[in-house]
Structure 1
């Protein structure tokens, strides 16, 4: 908010505070005055009923007129105070709305400049990519190009350079979702060219549109509550990779489906957190240790003894894979949200 507008807002708020204080004081006087009016009226009533002398009755009449006039004046002043309070509150609300409009419009204008600057940087980077692409194309010899894709045909150096650039972009930015045919030399290709635009020109048009919206907000042609886009959250589910373990003692754990799972095979592949827990407790190892060889020398290195082992024979490693996955998902989500807040 500009300094002059901030000063004006502060002045109105001070004025309103003074009005509220005055109203409170007048209301207190009005309450006290009501008691005095009642007393004066009661005195006049008594003198008139009792037939008091004329001088006393006249004095009572004068006192009633004076105090009733004062009470009327207080009521009239309160009415004016209420009007002034309503007006001040309306001015404060109008100033607040103006400040909010200026905040939104100023934010759009600032973002427009930031977008244009970032797009200019992108344009320079893409120019460097284009130069590297051209260098790659002239570096590849015809003899080398002939060996690039023997299954589908002979690719040209330019075709190879195009494919590497597209593949490199998708590798660096998976969310870009480029749809293009990177092997146009094949007879079976369905090539769909990607239309290109100058990022700086696009950003300039976008920035101009943002400035027009800011002007419309200031002119009160549209409201300041604009649609806001919120990114969808990524998938925080931990990877389901496995590792091989060599089982020294049969053991059990709770699987991802919440079902107790028995592990009796001399060697097997298990979800990594389960395997690491079993190794930690010494009921399994990640190599054919002496303990493992001693445990299976009679049964044979590749024999499965599951049929002869019961649940009571299995060590409970006290690991719930489903619970672990839930906790790890929440941990990754919390970490991501914290990083987003710190970057904002």
Structure 2
């Protein structure tokens, strides 16, 4: 019995994409350019042979053959030149299509991001709205708990902003407001006239409500509208993003007490007059003190012969001591501060990149 051969499928061709099309067109142009260069050489050779035969004027058949070869070479060169023009046009069209696709993908990415953000804001706002509803109930319970007898006692406890005669409702709102402010550092509480206010200062709602319809967020609705406008190309996908301001990285070294064993000097800034340090118990910026200790010209603890060193340093005239008596320890405080600030900034940037 003859068995049927298993069905064989044709090999799958590579996916047709504008990028693949462009790569193929680039290869075609390279091949045509190579053939064009070769034809230029053949044409020049045929023209040289025809020229020589025409000058000699003795070989009519040779001249005719040379004429034929020149026409063929010129025709082939014209055909390749024409093909190259068409390939260049196709390459330009394909590159334009790739750029259009890139811009469309960018618009879609930005629009999708805005839509995701709006959905996340909606979900988070719903939790806040629920918490605020619960807080309103708790605030009402607190106001009910503050009896008319207890209310005046709050003003007598020297609570900033509380006034004699405030109602239990006002006292409850005051307490809740400051509870919120102390829990949420970005929430500001201010005193306006006779009433404590926090958050938004006006009664204008931050969400629209039409009758019994659900609240329409004023922020996420424009975000979704903008996403659709970006997707259709009506708005630019280049949106301004919030950038966290860099903190102050200035280094402020603390002072350390040391026992100076030998005179030395250091610079607070380059090109400035050196700071002269005599044998004494003194306080110096920590990096200066640490370097002096490392170089053996100072000690963090009192040395056993400290009295003798101190007395020796005080003997003799103290005026007109030459600068050479204070050898530099090779330290510039300003350079240290810049290096420490740069180190702190790089660490901060690395944290931001890792968080992103």
TM-score if structure 2 supplies the norm length? Answer: 0.67
Q: Which one has a larger percent helix, Structure 1 or Structure 2?
A: 1
Tell me: CA distance 1:234–1:132, structure 2 relative to 1, closer, same or farther (3 Å): farther
2:123 to 107, 117, 120: 117
Conserved? CA contact 1:116–1:207, under 8 Å: yes
- Counterpart CA distance in 1 for 2:228 and 2:122 is 18
Q: SS of the residue aligned with 2:153?
A: coil
Conserved? CA contact 1:115–1:207, under 8 Å: yes
Q: SS of the residue aligned with 2:134?
A: helix
What does residue 234 of structure 2 align with? 221
What does the per-residue CA deviation read over 1:107-160, in whole Å, with 9 as the maximum and x for residues that have no partner?
A: 111111111111111111222222322232222333332221226742333222
Superposition pairs of residues 51-70 of structure 1, within 5 angstroms: 51-70=57-76
TM-score if structure 1 supplies the norm length? Answer: 0.69
Q: SS of the residue aligned with 1:179?
A: strand
1:78 to 63, 72, 84: 84
Correspondence 1:194 to 2:206: no
- Counterpart CA distance in 2 for 1:210 and 1:191 is 27
What does residue 194 of structure 2 align with? 184
What does residue 301 of structure 1 align with? none
What does residue 219 of structure 2 align with? 206
- Counterpart CA distance in 2 for 1:129 and 1:264 is 66
Tell me: CA distance 1:319–1:25, structure 2 relative to 1, closer, same or farther (3 Å): closer
Correspondence 1:342 to 2:354: yes
What does residue 132 of structure 1 align with? 138
Superposition pairs of residues 297-308 of structure 1, within 5 angstroms: none
Tell me: CA distance 1:179–1:37, structure 2 relative to 1, closer, same or farther (3 Å): same
The count of corresponding residues between Structure 1 and Structure 2 is 307
Tell me: CA distance 1:191–1:76, structure 2 relative to 1, closer, same or farther (3 Å): closer
Structure 2: which 5+ runs fail to align? 1-13, 210-214, 291-298, 308-317, 322-329
Q: Tell me by how many angstroms 1:235 deviates.
A: 4.1
What does the per-residue CA deviation read over 1:154-186, in whole Å, with 9 as the maximum and x for residues that have no partner?
A: 2333222211222222222333334344x837x
Superposition pairs of residues 213-292 of structure 1, within 5 angstroms: 213-236=226-249, 282-283=300-301
What does the per-residue CA deviation read over 1:273-324, in whole Å, with 9 as the maximum and x for residues that have no partner?
A: 79x98xxx6549xxxxxx9xxx9xxxxxxxxxxxxx999xxxxxx9998777
Conserved? CA contact 2:258–2:284, under 8 Å: no
Q: Tell me by how many angstroms 1:96 deviates.
A: 1.0
- Counterpart CA distance in 2 for 1:319 and 1:132 is 62
Conserved? CA contact 2:260–2:279, under 8 Å: yes
Once structures 1 and 2 are overlaid, which stretch shifts more, 253-262 or 135-144? 253-262
- Counterpart CA distance in 1 for 2:45 and 2:190 is 93
Correspondence 1:156 to 2:193: no
- Counterpart CA distance in 2 for 1:166 and 1:255 is 52
Structure 1: which 5+ runs fail to align? 1-7, 285-290, 296-308, 312-317
Conserved? CA contact 2:268–2:275, under 8 Å: no
Q: SS of the residue aligned with 2:219?
A: helix
Q: Tell me by how many angstroms 1:260 deviates.
A: 5.5
Q: Tell me by how many angstroms 1:75 deviates.
A: 1.2
Q: Tell me by how many angstroms 1:76 deviates.
A: 1.3
Q: Tell me by how many angstroms 1:191 deviates.
A: 11
Q: Tell me by how many angstroms 1:340 deviates.
A: 3.0
Tell me: CA distance 1:161–1:341, structure 2 relative to 1, closer, same or farther (3 Å): farther
